[in-house]
Structure 1
Amino acid sequence: MADEHGINGGRILVVAFEGWNDAGEAASGAAQALIDHLDLVEIGAVDPELYYDYQFTRPTVAMGDDGVRRLTWPGARLLGPAPQQFAGDDRVTGPGAEQVHVLIGAEPARTWKGFASEIVDGALSAGIEVVIFLGAMLADAPHTRPLSVFVSSDNAEVRDELGIDRSSYEGPVGILSVLSDASERAGIPTLSLWASVPHYVHNSPSPKAVLALLSKLEDITGLSVPRGSLESDAAAWEAGVDALAADDEDMAAYIEQLEQARDTVDSPEASGEAIAQEFEKYLRRRGDGRGDPRGEEPWRPRD
């Protein structure tokens, strides 16, 4: 069934947006890693005047190689394979690598239904067989352990074939959920990959989360994505967080609690009851102020 949906060797569209869906810039970073190692050209773009609030997502100005300053407007671009592609050691390989499309941009501020309709029309015109959404969320995840990636799909056949779950989340959503719903309604199967980013380092990009998303994408699609400097960047990022924790006893203690909870869940002998008990202890610790996001931890993001 995976082959039937184009997940392995078919024409896939990988989607990532900056903003609400992009903790630690992990999703946009993973999409950019694909772009950097594929021969892609722009085959479509939305009109930013229709969908963006420039006071919320401002245009930027930068100096070009010719010494001329140019504005870049927020938007979303659909990139597809270039007519002539070149082989090399530094490019994405694997089944269907020459058919990978990428949609990247900033989350729109308005007219989401129209935006979704335009994007889905572009996907249908490009013959996309499956859409893979990349997201990243802040979570109680220790930076010292492998960062988990939750994979889900609203498509029953995709879930059965890949052995994944349907998300049970209820609450506010970002543009990824809107696009997923529109794609499924148009007959394009979808799945979502969400990386967990440690909330206590939420202000900095997380190359370790980028790597986690790329690894999961490879597992699902069979693609192989060059890492470039990502692995050394991830090691430097982890060392930097270690240094911050070394100067803050409360932060270090909190990270240790997260590590213990994670290790309990990951241990092969862990039973469901043991896991539940460990997390109940963890929640009680949060309740007495040691893990309260409004408590005594200035390094934890506040509402």
Structure 2
Amino acid sequence: MTGNRFVHIVDDVDGLGDAPVLVVALHGFLDAGNGTVLAVDQLERTGGAGPVVATFDVDAFHDYRARRPAISFVEDHYEAYDAPRLVVRLQRDAADKPFLLLSGPEPDNRWEAFVNAVRAVVEHFGVGLVVSLGSVPMAVPHTRPIAVTQHANRRELMRRVNHWRGELRIPSSAHSLLEVRLGETDHPMTGWVAHVPHYVQGSDYPEAARALLAGVEDSTGLTFDLDALKVAAAQRLAEITEHLEENPDVAELVAGMEQQYDAFQRGGDDSLLATEQPLPTGEELGAEFERFLAGLDGPDTTPVEAPEGDD
């Protein structure tokens, strides 16, 4: 195995091909609605968990006190420690085309070291394109098509025109720094960010994962089996609709967001907040949504497999 100080890379990997795609799917900060986690789960559920071809020194990047891994206490002893792992696996898409998948928790520290380690992976395997996944909460209603923003360190990688204009100063991430640094060293990278309704950001939102993987398909030519995510997304939508029917106060807030979102889509406003009808404050929303979200955390919300033969 070879690599720099923070990553160990397998020297000989069979069946990878030339200029493979590297999909970066880190959970943590950019993972509203568990969009990234659900996307990785779907890739590994349909294609299997491929062999590990690179392993990062997670102890160098993870803050255990901020994000404590789970462990089981059984009667009189500990077992089943859920150790965090940052790994690159060799995966295959629905057409048996190989690609690389970097998954695990977003590093809490040493971002520059992490970026250098990822670049070592990119250069070792001759990666042709890096694609990152992320999801963020936004004041958007679940009743409208999910919004997705693409970004890239090369203009020719853009596959869509974003609504955003001008400059936005936002909190950075390991993903965003990776895109900047890879651009500085002439490695192409793009990424897709799904905008999850902020009132369901703490629960699974399968539509975000489906939209992210569809973005990867657009950027790379890879193809994925998204049927299970489509079924899970429809089930989630039905659950939200049911809860809104039982909570008219929350339904009224969502109706207000629908009007504001539609105004934004018509191009009459520079943001998702229409000036003639501002959203309630975070405190007002929180009081209404606390009960709503609690109702969505039941055991019946687990994504289901698509029935065989469904389109």
Which category of TM-score, normalised to the shorter sequence, fits these structures? 0.7 to 0.9
Among 22, 26, 36, which residue is 1:27 paired with? 36
Instruction: Mark the CA change 1:279 to 1:145 in structure 2 (over 3 Å): closer, same or farther.
Output: closer
What one-letter code is carried by the residue in structure 1 that aligns with 2:89?
L
SS at match of 2:269: helix
Question: Aligned-pair distance for 1:69?
Answer: 4.0
Aligned residue runs from structure 1 range 37-116, under 5 A: 37-38=46-47, 40-61=50-71, 69-81=79-91, 92-93=94-95, 98-116=97-115
Which range moved further: 200-209 or 239-248? Answer: 239-248
Tell me if structure 2 keeps the 8 A contact 1:52–1:75.
no
Distance 1:174 1:256 in 2: 32
SS at match of 1:226: coil
Aligned-residue sequence identity (percent) comes to: 24
Tell me if structure 2 keeps the 8 A contact 1:251–1:297.
no
Name the count of aligned residue pairs: 266
SS at match of 2:239: helix
Query: Residues 214-243 of structure 1, C-alpha deviation per residue, up to 9 Å, x if partnerless?
Result: 222223323221124222211111111112
Instruction: Mark the CA change 1:20 to 1:11 in structure 2 (over 3 Å): closer, same or farther.
Output: same
Tell me if structure 1 keeps the 8 A contact 2:24–2:132.
yes
2:287 matched residue in structure 1? 298
Q: Which runs of 5+ in 1 are unaligned?
A: 1-8, 86-90
Distance 1:192 1:133 in 2: 4
Distance 1:172 1:265 in 2: 23
Distance 1:131 1:24 in 2: 23
Aligned residue runs from structure 1 range 168-207, under 5 A: 168-207=167-206
1:3 matched residue in structure 2? none
Question: Aligned-pair distance for 1:35?
Answer: 3.0
Tell me if structure 2 keeps the 8 A contact 1:58–1:74.
no
Instruction: Mark the CA change 1:45 to 1:213 in structure 2 (over 3 Å): closer, same or farther.
Output: same
SS at match of 1:45: strand
Aligned residue runs from structure 1 range 1-303, under 5 A: 10-38=19-47, 40-61=50-71, 69-81=79-91, 92-93=94-95, 98-159=97-158, 162=159, 164=161, 168-264=167-263, 266=265, 270=266, 272=267, 275-276=268-269, 282-286=274-278, 291-295=280-284, 297-300=286-289
Compute the TM-score of the two structures, normalised by the length of structure 2: 0.76
What RMSD in Å do the two structures reach over aligned CA positions? 2.8
SS at match of 1:149: strand
Distance 1:208 1:180 in 2: 25
Compute the TM-score of the two structures, normalised by the length of structure 1: 0.78
Question: Aligned-pair distance for 1:138?
Answer: 0.1
Distance 2:223 2:61 in 1: 34
Which range moved further: 227-236 or 131-140? Answer: 227-236
SS at match of 1:151: strand
